[in-house]
Structures are given as structure tokens and as C-alpha cells.
Structure 1
Amino acid sequence: MKLHTVESSMIQAFGYDAETKTLLVIFNSGKTYRYFKVPPKIYKQLLAADSKGSYMRDFVIDQYPYELAKKTRR
């Protein structure tokens, strides 16, 4: 999975696995989440969004099943 590093007050990086429709998001807080059953369209729109954090809040968080993948110390 290729990770895209972004400049965002909320997100450090994210990547997408098209086979499993899994979106991996590394937040600036140090937490990494996996979001499941995310359509490719949502990933492409996230890539193109001016504000990645706003897009995540509006279209991903609480919209798709997820799990905390890991938490790193800051």
C-alpha cells in the first residue's frame, strides 16, 4: 500500500488497498486507523480534497466500519 504524506492539521498520511477496499489513515495524534468497505470513489475524492481533515470528518469518519490499528507515542 502506497502512503501519501499530506500537509494537514489532522492527518499525517493515508493509503488505500483497492482489493480489500481498506483506507489506512495515520492521524497527527499518532493513532492509525483502518476504515473498511471504502469505495474507490471516496479514496479518489480524499486525494483531491483541498482539506483532507474536513473530507475525513464529512465522508469517512463514522460512515464506514473501522478499527484502531495502532497508537504510537508522541
Structure 2
Amino acid sequence: MKRTPVDSSNLASVGYDATNQTLEIEFQNRSIYQYFEVPEDMYNELMQADSHGSYFNGYIRGAFMYRKVSR
């Protein structure tokens, strides 16, 4: 999945597959996780948030099924 770099102390890059509603997050420690059944509007809000890390922690972490895919 293609990810876009973000300016964040916690997140390094973010990708999204709209067909499968899968959000992929690469963290600054280089670990990569996929979050499932994430609505596209939440991805858009994450990308437009003043703080990507705060949005992730407030709305995505703990709210969706996920799996670690790397590191």
C-alpha cells in the first residue's frame, strides 16, 4: 500500500485502501499496522488534522481491529 509521509512525532506515514477500508500506519519506530473497516471520512480527517498523532490516538487507536504487518 502506498503511504504518504506526515509531519508527526508519532506517525511517519499513512496509507488508505478505500476498496477494503484499510488504514495503514507506519510509526516513527518503523513498525507498520493495518486498521480494518476504517471509514474513508476518518482517513480524510486524519490527514487533515492539525495533529495526526492526536487524531489517531483519539479516534482510531482502540476503536478498530488491527494487525501488525512489519517490525
Question: TM-score, normalised on structure 1?
Answer: 0.92
Q: 2:35: which partner in 1? A: 35
Larger Rg: 1
**How many matched pairs?**
71
In 2, distance between residues paired with 1:6 and 1:55? Answer: 13
Q: 1:3: which partner in 2? A: 3
Please report how far the alpha carbon of residue 2 of structure 1 lies from its aligned counterpart in structure 2 after TM superposition.
Answer: 3.3
In 1, distance between residues paired with 2:2 and 2:27? Answer: 16
Q: 1:56: which partner in 2? A: 56
Please report how far the alpha carbon of residue 64 of structure 1 lies from its aligned counterpart in structure 2 after TM superposition.
Answer: 0.4
> Structure 1 segments of 4 or more deviating over 2 A?
none
1:66 maps onto 2:63 in alignment: no
Structure 1 residue runs without a partner (length 5+) = none
RMSD (CA atoms)? 0.8
Please tell me the residue identity of whatever aligns with 1:55. Answer: Y
1:44 maps onto 2:38 in alignment: no
Q: How many percent of aligned residue pairs carry the same amino acid?
A: 37
Structure 2 residue runs without a partner (length 5+) = none
Any idea what SS the aligned residue of 1:33 has?
strand
In 2, distance between residues paired with 1:24 and 1:41? Answer: 15
